[in-house]
Amino acid sequence: MTYRLYGTPGSLYTGKARSYLIKQGVPFENRAAGEARFRAEIVPKIGRWIIPVLETPAGELIQDGSEIIAHFEAEGRARLPAYPATPLHRLVAQVFELFGGEGLLRPAMHYRWNFDDTNRAFLERDFPAALAPTGASEAAQAEVFAMASGRMRKAMAGFGVSPETIPAVEAAYAEFLRLFDDHLAGSPYLLGGAPSLGDYGLIAPLYAHLARDPYPARMMQRTAFRVWRWVERMNAADQDAGEYGCPPPELFADDAVPETLKRLLRFVAEDYLPEVEAFVAFTNAWLADHPGLEPGTNGMPRTQDRVIGQTAFAWRGHELRVNVMPYRVYLLQKVQAVVDEAAPPARAAMRALLDETGLSGLLDLRVARRVERRGQLEVWGA
């Protein structure tokens, strides 16, 4: 048996794992989450309905794109390692894994669900194709779409998208596209001539929602062509970078972080750091209210639940209310671990870069108990 990736074409987190498997030349099958076997066999083993899930040839199940990448990197099977070997590049890659998968959810949700005139006909076919049981009737497919879209439209508010915030969401995303497009003028990937963990973090929203759904896809093609080409490149088995003179699969020399990349980091500081501050503060207050939590549990009435509450913070002239999920703390800890585990000179250089770009808060914002992953769930450590 080859590897099997259970997910959907339009799934943000599936897109991250799929891109990695393609780039590493891992033979795999795309399998639909609507498949009977996924519901009957995979979901009970995972403990919740969630995608992506990778099934290995040995029958091992790995849930979550970050964990799928870590699995192959630990085995030394990556032909283009996702984790850069030098300290600044490793830090930048980890920051963009966090920001890509979590910090771009506002535009991803807005541009999918608030443009029905352009998107709906596509989504009505796309969602049931991957989620409905094989051979489902038109009526059953319509029911699947209604249920899934209703749930996602409701969830959109939990990411801070509302009629009042939409203009700011659109302005922020346009700024991000401009900055990323400018950076890609000099290199085919985030850190030079090869994809890194940061690219895989960014491809999650930029492919599945923002380059695949009709309205934002046309917007990207029209306003950020180099980003559009990067999306294509991230889903190609080869480098697909002929316009750059086919550069070798190397990162920027001497651990360099060019100014175009620093501008992107400053954007992350402005756009996402306030949310990180808010969810860390909420999580610490929540932990203080739950002093008896057993290590290895998540403290939720249903173990499959991912949201521990909501918090509010100021963002671009608005007050946003967003869901707080321990999974985001888990990714934040990965950023912090890169610095914590480095030798003192490298640690000082990484701190200096974050100070320069306004992101030092990523190192200082800590929760009272670590978030760990056990049995495919996010749980609290000792």
User: Percentage of the chain with pLDDT > 70?
Assistant: 99
pLDDT-based confidence at residue 365 (cuts at 50, 70, 90): very high
pLDDT-based confidence at residue 1 (cuts at 50, 70, 90): low
**What is the tens place of the pLDDT at every residue in 150-160?**
888 988 988 99
pLDDT of residue 155: 87
pLDDT of residue 280: 97
Q: 228 in a domain, yes or no?
A: yes
Q: 14 in a domain, yes or no?
A: yes
Q: 167 in a domain, yes or no?
A: yes
- Candidates 232, 227, 164, 234; CA nearest to 197 is 234
Does residue 26 register a pLDDT over 90? yes
Does residue 48 register a pLDDT over 80? yes
- CA geometry: angle 28, 29, 32, nearest 5 deg: 140
pLDDT of residue 249: 67
Domain count within the chain? 3
Please give the average per-residue pLDDT across 32-47, as a whole number.
91
Does residue 223 register a pLDDT over 90? yes
Which residues pair with residue 374 across a beta bridge? 377
| Rounded Cα distance, 241 and 243, in Å | 5
Q: Is 193 in the same domain as 219?
A: yes
Instruction: For the chain, give the mean pLDDT.
Output: 94
Q: Is 277 in the same domain as 353?
A: yes
**What is the tens place of the pLDDT at every residue in 347-357?**
999 999 999 99
Q: Is 222 in the same domain as 371?
A: no
Residue that terminates a domain, selected from 220, 236, 267:
267
Q: Is 351 in the same domain as 314?
A: yes
DSSP 8-state code for residue 251? B
CATH number of the domain enclosing 44 = 3.40.30.10
Residue that terminates a domain, selected from 267, 302, 334:
267
Does residue 100 register a pLDDT over 90? yes
CATH number of the domain enclosing 93 = 1.20.1050
Q: Is 111 in the same domain as 255?
A: yes
pLDDT of residue 248: 66
Q: 46 in a domain, yes or no?
A: yes
Cis link prior to 163 (omega < 30° from 0)?
Answer: no
Q: Is 190 in the same domain as 334?
A: no
Structural domain for 99, as ranges: 89-267
Does residue 146 register a pLDDT over 80? yes
Q: 153 in a domain, yes or no?
A: yes
Q: Is 163 in the same domain as 240?
A: yes
Q: Is 99 in the same domain as 200?
A: yes
Three-state helix/strand/coil letters over 150-161: HHHHHHHHCCCC
Q: 84 in a domain, yes or no?
A: no
Does residue 90 register a pLDDT over 70? yes
Q: 223 in a domain, yes or no?
A: yes
117: how many CB neighbours lie within 10 A of its CB?
8
Please give the average per-residue pLDDT across 117-122, as a whole number.
95
Q: Is 66 in the same domain as 108?
A: no
> Coil, strand or helix: which one is 32?
strand
Place of tokens 């987190």: 13
Q: Is 277 in the same domain as 170?
A: no
Helices marked H in 60-115 — which ranges? Answer: 65-75, 87-98, 105-113
**What is the tens place of the pLDDT at every residue in 237-285?**
999 999 998 766 688 999 999 999 999 999 999 999 999 999 999 999 9
Q: 80 in a domain, yes or no?
A: no
**What is the tens place of the pLDDT at every residue in 293-326?**
999 998 888 888 889 999 999 999 999 999 999 9
Q: Is 110 in the same domain as 195?
A: yes
Does residue 102 register a pLDDT over 90? yes
Does residue 85 register a pLDDT over 70? yes
Q: Is 220 in the same domain as 245?
A: yes
Residue that terminates a domain, selected from 267, 288, 306:
267
Please give the average per-residue pLDDT across 44-54, as a whole number.
92
Please give the average per-residue pLDDT across 203-212, as a whole number.
97
Structure tokens that stand for 345 in this block? 């000179």
Please give the average per-residue pLDDT across 121-125, as a whole number.
92
- CA geometry: angle 244, 245, 247, nearest 5 deg: 85
186: how many CB neighbours lie within 10 A of its CB?
13
- Candidates 154, 160, 100; CA nearest to 310 is 160
Decide the pairing of beta strands 3-7 and 28-32. parallel
